Structure 1
Amino acid sequence: MKKYFYFLFFSLLPFGCKDTNGKKPIEITTNDSSSIYLNKAQNKNTKIADKLKYYKKSFTILKNQENDSITRSKLFELTKELYKNNFEREFLSSVNLLTKLATKSKDSFYLAQAYRSKGSFYKHQATKDSAFIYYTEAEKILKKIKHKEGLSLVLINKSLIQFDTGDYTGADRTLNNAYLISKKNNEIDNLYAISVMMGLTSLETKDFDKAIQYFNYGLEIVSKNNNIIGEFNKETCLNNIGLSYQRKAEQKKSVEDYKKSIEYFKSALKNKSIRTEDPELYNLLTDNLGYSYLKTENLDQALALFLESLKIREELNYPNQIVLSKVHLSEYYRQVNDTAKSKKYIFEALSLAKKEKAYRDYLNALKQASIIDVQNASTYSKEYIRLSDSIRNVEILSQEKFARIQLETDEIIKEKDILEDKNRSLLYTFIGVVFLLSMLFVVRAQRARTKELMFKQAQQRANEEIYNLLMAQQDVIDQSREIEKKKIARDLHDGILSRMFGARLNLDSINHLDDPESVKKRLEYLNELKEIEQDIREISHDLSREKQDLINNFVSITTNLFEEQTATHSAKLTYFMDSSIKWDLVKNNIKINVFRILQEGLQNINKYAKAKTISVNFRKENNELHISIEDDGIGFDVSKKSKGIGMQNMISRAIDCNGKLDINSSKENGTKITLNIPLE
């Protein structure tokens, strides 16, 4: 039954990678006779007999050509075409010639491709030990030349053989190695295949939760990438997830898990095109869905699905799957107490499985027969145990053989690595000794002559360093004084004067009013003046509380500024602050300068713009902070307007943040100030 899970996509794996070894691909010209015949054979309108004739002619020409990289590349293309078209004898001739030429020219890449092709051929022929040997040889070479793309595909095919022989631990280990390579190279097709295979391996080891996790990962890959090789990959994953829940339900006797499996099978069957385009997947889904219905007592639906699945399988002539359908029908009729029909279907299943030598399906039929035919139950049980032991012994022998092959390969690689390390160590030692002797000779020859020069140079450097230190100290003092002056000037202008100006305007507006609300506001503005007085005191000691507030809670203080603007001025203010900006990670000097520029911009609008609306936006794009302040006021001519101290401070603060400040305005069209600051 294992082959039913992965036949839908692994048939495309043998030649899935590009034929390149990390260098520029060889261009195959089409003006030579071998390529012309190959192109004729590849024409979809060419008959099978003519294809074979053209392939043979191309092979004859290549066999007599010089053994160079172009010949080997063409020969590999021919080998692939012969494999795809099932010309077995000609394929073996071509791949054996490729092996001979690659070995003779020490072309590791094409030798690995030849071994990989042979492995695929023998896997198709069900000669698993030969396939495993050739895949292992290809793996060894690809590891040596570090061709990771081809290596992951070889490992996937190796894991298939290990899976088929029941070596689930070995298959899981091989798939993990393939996953690391495919993940690094972003090989989406391989990652999908690996996730499904790891799910199947977990399914066979009865780790159902892990299987569901792997199948869901495969489903996620399919959802994000629509160009994965193969059709109905999504539906295949849904089927496998449903099957995992079904097996889990069988083990735990859980009706809920059977219901979950039904959801996944039905979700896959929503794609109506499966019925006509992939009847094999369709009959698998209907049979699985029917079995889950059977276990949840939906008997009428189960029978209809079993009969539909059986009909399709008989039309397609799939003996193994027919056996499975008849086993399920036998189980159905047993459940509805129709013993006669139950026996009829199970005897038919036993006969067909034995005839087709489908031993695993025969085991399932024997198990069901022992339940239905109670009189002969012991006979069926003995036959079941005998056949099960026989299959297991064959699998154990295969696993041991594969383990020996892998062990021998690992030992050869280990010995080779040790030898390479020894040779490398000897080479490095020799180079080191020669280098040291050369250096000793040079040092000895130069020592006497340079001793006096070194003393003079040291004295001269000491004098220069003393002078440079004195100059640097003076420069630092001068710069610090200048920076501090500018800093205090900016803080006074942008912070203190802005707030005093606002307080003065507000006091003027309510000076002649004596109502309680005005009295209350006057007290508030007097408190504001007290705070301004405190700020002046803190600036004098370089301990500005407002700077710390900006640093620690920039969003809150900026919001307060906007609310104060709305409360004290008639212009309608709207603002937007991008939630993706992480202010905790923004440098403190940037937050302080941005706030001051914002204060100055709003103050200028209130003084001169006569605006009705103001818009402020904070956005983050491409690791840059974008801030815009826009109004619909009277505007001004930017080219004629002289830059006062406020404007100069805004530009200076932008430069301090390594940013850029742009002012766009014209008369009667409002003003827009844009500030762009890079974020580290």
Structure 2
Amino acid sequence: MFSRIFSIINIFSSRNLGKFAFFYIVWGFLGCSKQPNTNFATIKDDLDTFKESIEEVENLDDSIVNDSLRLSILSRLSLKFLYSDSTVFRHTNRKTITLSSQLANKKILANAYWDLAYFYSNNSYLDSAYASYYKAYQNFRSIGDGYHSGKMMLNMAISQERARDYIGSENSSFRALKLLPDHKKKDIYAVYNNLAIIYNGLDDFDSAITNHKKAIDIATRIGDQSLIVNSLNNIAVVYIENGFYAKALEYIVEALKTEDLKNSDTRLYAMILDNYSYAQFKQGNTEDFLEYSLEALRIRDSIDHKAGIMANKIRLAEYYLFEGDSTNSQLNLKSALSLAEDEKNSKYELEALLKLQKITKNQEYLDRYITLNDKLIREERNIRSKFARIRYETNTYIQENKNLNERNIWLTITSITMLALVCVIFFSQRQRIKLREAQMQNKLKDSNEEVLNLLLDQQNKVELAEITERQRISRDLHDGILSRLFGTRMALGFLIRQDSNNSAKNHVEELQAIEKDIRNVSHNLISTNFDSNDGVEKLIKKLIQDFNDHSDIDFDLEISKEVNFNNLESSIKISIYYILQESLQNVRKHSLASSCLIKFTIELSNLKLIVHDDGIGFDAKTPKQGIGLKNLHYRINNFKGRMYIESDASGTKITYSIPI
């Protein structure tokens, strides 16, 4: 008997174009984000021309450091190899599942299981396909994706139908209907199509027709002519299998009226043509059977539709046997049997064996039929048992979730109450801490101002002592040495008038010049100015000088004309001094530099201090920092300032910016 071939199933069994669209979106997002050491254009080109090699997959995988990017690429490769190389697909898919599990990326994990389920389904590993669809369903459900959860449930139902677990498939189909959104008409169409197949397998003829008509109604509402024709053919198949050939021809003729069907869906056209010739033949009209049947076979040969070829040849064998041509009948059956064995198509293998036994009366065919049939029954039982175990685990999982949800509700209420209490305590404690911090900040500010005043006072005392000493020296020079020189010069001048000695005269002139120089020095010592307002700048210059005196590094200071330290708050002055002191100490201890530039400027109402050395640099991105850098950050943050570090092998540049 002709097998029910429903091409629509393949439309809903894999991610197909939808998955490709998803990955182009992923690549668009990744192209706008910065990923270190990754050439996105090159990677995309490499993927498009990727050879089917596990070694190349491993090399590409090892070359990508970013886990999220690697996961996206592996997922895309998994889909790419799904349709081309099963070995590389299994390897890539396994890595995708492992990495997405580690990264807890449920969406990609669900898609990876979807790919794996499709692979198993295409290779007729129905139990493995069902289990993988179930895992995909669980992951889609866990992220709240009801639509894809419904699709996975539909695919589970289709796998169960193929294993003849009709009751289980029916339950899964109804669950899929509940999950699928109303606007996803094509998926809902597929559910009704599957239900019709189930009821036909259960010999519930009326329910099968009813569900096929529901499917046609949905296809008509969305205006999908391809689905309409598919369902017309499916209804015809149900009528043929139940012996209503005239009724079947009504639907077949309606389907054949579809414009350009042969070009738009060649496989479906060949099915309908074959069904037309067979229904005519079963009604007793054999006149055009060979023409239409052989045309259908020619089309199926041209598109390599193996299942269709087997069905065609079995029907041709039935026709030739009816016409009394046992030879051609056996040739077609043996050809169908050989192809079924190659393709591991048990259904057509059984049908061909049974018909050959009836024609030839050869016991060997009957023995092979019985052996294969018993094997299939055992396998179907085992598969149905596995489906039942998975369903049991699903029901247990749902019940456990329900119980867990109830416990979670009470736990949530308790947690919220406890959290509220903790929050009250926390915020109360936090307010106390903030108040204490404010008090400490005020004390620190007072202490900083006191320290600055002490430093400035010390600086003033030093300079006042310097001025006092200069004045004393000036007085000593003027009142003591200068007076004595003046007396000596006057005495020598008197002697010169009495004795015209040119040598003595020259000495007198020299004494007069010395007297003049001493007077100038005395006046200069007294007239040296001191401005008490430049204390901070002098402290900074003294600090630079101290580092120059006690280090092999050449410290050079530049202060822009716009910088006026006297206009700064006392807390900023002392912090600037300490920041500079700590920075220079770091340069001297760690940089191995030969020179260091210290520069003060004003930019956009910000005081900027730049400390730039030509040392060996350090890794500025390392999270581990000494207490010195932490203190610098702390002082800068106190004034809502910023600290920028640039460092490489040629040196380190630290910029401090403080609003003023």
CA distance in 2 between counterparts of 1:354 and 1:99 reads: 34
- Matching residue within 107, 127, 130 for 2:128: 130
Tell me the equivalent position of 1:216.
Answer: 213
- State the Cα distance separating 1:396 from its structure 2 match: 0.7
CA distance in 2 between counterparts of 1:299 and 1:2 reads: 18
Tell me the equivalent position of 1:389.
Answer: 374
- Answer whether contact 2:186 2:219 (CA < 8 A) is retained: no
CA distance in 2 between counterparts of 1:81 and 1:350 reads: 33
**Alignment of 1:30 onto 2:31:** yes
- Answer whether contact 1:367 1:384 (CA < 8 A) is retained: yes
1:511-550 pair list within 5 angstroms: none
- State the Cα distance separating 1:355 from its structure 2 match: 5.1
**Alignment of 1:342 onto 2:342:** no
1:159-308 pair list within 5 angstroms: 159-182=157-180, 184-226=181-223, 232-249=226-243, 257-271=244-258, 273-308=260-295
- Answer whether contact 1:14 1:117 (CA < 8 A) is retained: yes
Tell me the equivalent position of 1:323.
Answer: 310
CA distance in 2 between counterparts of 1:201 and 1:389 reads: 22
The C-alpha deviation readout for 1:421-451, integer Å capped at 9, x for no partner, is: 2243244256579999xxxxxxxxxxxxxxx
- Answer whether contact 2:3 2:311 (CA < 8 A) is retained: no
- State the Cα distance separating 1:291 from its structure 2 match: 1.3
- Answer whether contact 2:277 2:292 (CA < 8 A) is retained: yes
> Aligned in 2, Cα 1:243/1:72: closer, same or farther, shift over 3 Å?
same
> Aligned in 2, Cα 1:290/1:55: closer, same or farther, shift over 3 Å?
farther
Tell me the equivalent position of 1:406.
Answer: 391
1:450-489 pair list within 5 angstroms: none
Percent identity reads 24
- Answer whether contact 1:59 1:94 (CA < 8 A) is retained: no
Amino acid at match of 1:7: S
Amino acid at match of 2:65: Q
Tell me the equivalent position of 2:45.
Answer: 40
CA distance in 2 between counterparts of 1:54 and 1:342 reads: 47
CA distance in 1 between counterparts of 2:394 and 2:194 reads: 24
**Alignment of 1:116 onto 2:110:** no
> Aligned in 2, Cα 1:327/1:19: closer, same or farther, shift over 3 Å?
closer
The C-alpha deviation readout for 1:142-175, integer Å capped at 9, x for no partner, is: 2233210111121122122212211111111111
CA distance in 2 between counterparts of 1:20 and 1:300 reads: 50
- State the Cα distance separating 1:297 from its structure 2 match: 0.8
Q: Report the RMSD for the aligned CA atoms in angstroms.
A: 3.8
- State the Cα distance separating 1:6 from its structure 2 match: 2.4
CA distance in 2 between counterparts of 1:276 and 1:362 reads: 31
The C-alpha deviation readout for 1:536-581, integer Å capped at 9, x for no partner, is: xxxxxxxxxxxxxxxxxxxxxxxxxxxxxxxxxxxxxxxxxxxxxx
Contiguous gaps of at least 5 residues in structure 2: 422-660
CA distance in 1 between counterparts of 2:43 and 2:97 reads: 20
TM (norm. structure 2) is 0.55
- Answer whether contact 1:239 1:268 (CA < 8 A) is retained: yes
CA distance in 2 between counterparts of 1:123 and 1:332 reads: 33
- Answer whether contact 2:2 2:315 (CA < 8 A) is retained: no
1:135-146 pair list within 5 angstroms: 135-146=133-144
- State the Cα distance separating 1:352 from its structure 2 match: 4.3
- Matching residue within 333, 338, 345 for 1:358: 345
The C-alpha deviation readout for 1:464-521, integer Å capped at 9, x for no partner, is: xxxxxxxxxxxxxxxxxxxxxxxxxxxxxxxxxxxxxxxxxxxxxxxxxxxxxxxxxx
**Alignment of 1:419 onto 2:419:** no
- Matching residue within 85, 98, 101 for 1:100: 98
The C-alpha deviation readout for 1:310-345, integer Å capped at 9, x for no partner, is: 233334444443332222122223333444443443
- Answer whether contact 1:40 1:51 (CA < 8 A) is retained: no
- Answer whether contact 2:6 2:234 (CA < 8 A) is retained: no
> Aligned in 2, Cα 1:37/1:172: closer, same or farther, shift over 3 Å?
farther
- Answer whether contact 1:14 1:157 (CA < 8 A) is retained: no
**Alignment of 1:372 onto 2:369:** no
> Aligned in 2, Cα 1:366/1:26: closer, same or farther, shift over 3 Å?
closer
CA distance in 2 between counterparts of 1:28 and 1:139 reads: 26
- State the Cα distance separating 1:242 from its structure 2 match: 0.8
> Aligned in 2, Cα 1:7/1:34: closer, same or farther, shift over 3 Å?
farther
TM (norm. structure 1) is 0.54
